[in-house]
Amino acid sequence: MKTKLHLMLLLAWCLLIAAPAHALYNCNVTPAAIGAAYDPLAASSKVLQSSVTVSCLRAAGDSATLDFVLTAGNGANSTGQGNYARLGTQTASYDLYRDSMCATRWRDTGNNTYFQGPLNFAGALSASMTFDFWACIPGGQTGLAAGTYADLVAVTLTYGNTNKTQQSATASFSVAISTPAQCVISTPPGMVDLGVYVAFAGATTGNTTFGVTCTSYLSYTLALDANFGVMAGLNYALSVPAGGVGTGMQQLLSITGNIPAGQAGQCGTGTCSGTNTHTLTLTY
């Protein structure tokens, strides 16, 4: 009996060390937030692009490919299949899609409209995949109060190959829809005073500030009718920021100008002055 027991223990020990060790894959999902300025009077849909990234680690003995499924929920304010961003008691409708034409919704496994793998490690111990997705806000949602409508959408990553334990990871991204889409020059620019210029001497500079107030997330551009001019025979240049993105608050910006050094000018007396008028255009 002692001999048999010893052999059985030895066999069990051999089986234990012969079995290969496999670590579970370790994955996470990172979706990007969505922010949009929306005009309720616009007839066409507002379409915004975003992305979500799947990143995974594996052990050296694990398979170099990993199956996964990536699904999106209906958000925190949904009462059915649709997504809604909320401001107080009002909601703005939107939805998530896997294409820019807003034809294939990004949903759950029940609707079979999800992103999926496999993820290929290509011999490495880490790998990632990024998918583009789109938020589509239907046009014509009239009657929405001014403000920012918010939602929070959960994304679920389920992964694991056949005969392996299924694992999951979740993350959420925010959705913000600001309305109405408006943009104004809230503080007009003053005069760009280029100072006293001495012929053939150094350059002079000057600037003036102005304010732009735009709906949050609304992109705008700025332009002058001309960035160069001549006064009293002196060439000068003007510059203004190309544009920006609204925050809902006034943004202070500057127009700057300079007269390059070394110019003679055209002045028939000891001193002379000149003015020109330029037009600043805000487009959104």
Looking at the fold, whether 269 and 243 belong to one and the same domain comes out as yes
More confident residue, 147 or 267: 147
Looking at the fold, whether 70 and 96 belong to one and the same domain comes out as yes
Averaged pLDDT, 62-74: 93
Q: In CATH, what number is assigned to the domain containing residue 195?
A: 2.60.40
Domain boundary among 124, 147, 179: 179
pLDDT in tens, 162-210: 766 789 999 999 999 999 999 999 999 999 999 999 999 999 999 999 9
Lowest mean pLDDT among 50-64, 102-116, 246-260: 102-116
Domain boundary among 179, 211, 234: 179
> How many structural domains compose the chain?
2
Neighbours of 81 (CB within 10 A): 10
Flag whether 5 is in a domain.
no
Percent of the chain with pLDDT over 70: 89
pLDDT, averaged across the chain: 88
Looking at the fold, whether 200 and 277 belong to one and the same domain comes out as yes
Looking at the fold, whether 28 and 165 belong to one and the same domain comes out as yes
Looking at the fold, whether 189 and 134 belong to one and the same domain comes out as no
pLDDT of residue 164: 66
Domain boundary among 179, 199, 216: 179
Looking at the fold, whether 51 and 157 belong to one and the same domain comes out as yes
pLDDT of residue 12: 34
Looking at the fold, whether 139 and 200 belong to one and the same domain comes out as no
pTM: 0.75
Flag whether 160 is in a domain.
yes
Flag whether 6 is in a domain.
no
Flag whether 94 is in a domain.
yes
Flag whether 9 is in a domain.
no
Q: In CATH, what number is assigned to the domain containing residue 115?
A: 2.60.40.2040
pLDDT of residue 107: 80
Looking at the fold, whether 191 and 54 belong to one and the same domain comes out as no
More confident residue, 109 or 276: 276
Looking at the fold, whether 85 and 194 belong to one and the same domain comes out as no
Model confidence at 78, pLDDT cuts 50, 70, 90, reads confident
Model confidence at 111, pLDDT cuts 50, 70, 90, reads low
Flag whether 135 is in a domain.
yes
Q: Are strands 34-37 and 167-179 parallel, antiparallel or unpaired?
A: parallel
Flag whether 14 is in a domain.
no
* Phi, psi dihedral angles at 198 (to 5 degrees): -100, 130
Eight-class DSSP state of 140? -
Flag whether 123 is in a domain.
yes
Looking at the fold, whether 44 and 171 belong to one and the same domain comes out as yes
Q: What is the span of the domain harbouring residue 252?
A: 183-283
pLDDT of residue 119: 96
Alpha-carbon separation of residue 146 from 178, 209, 267 (angstroms): 7, 28, 55
Residue 21 has pLDDT above 50, yes or no: no
pLDDT of residue 180: 92
| Rounded distance between C-alpha atoms, residue 27 and residue 165, angstroms | 13
Looking at the fold, whether 79 and 172 belong to one and the same domain comes out as yes
Residue 44 has pLDDT above 80, yes or no: yes
Task: Check: CB of residue 220 under 8 Å from CB of residue 183.
Answer: yes
DSSP structure string for 105-123: B---TTTT--EE--EE-TT
Looking at the fold, whether 159 and 205 belong to one and the same domain comes out as no
pLDDT in tens, 210-241: 999 999 999 999 999 999 999 999 999 999 99
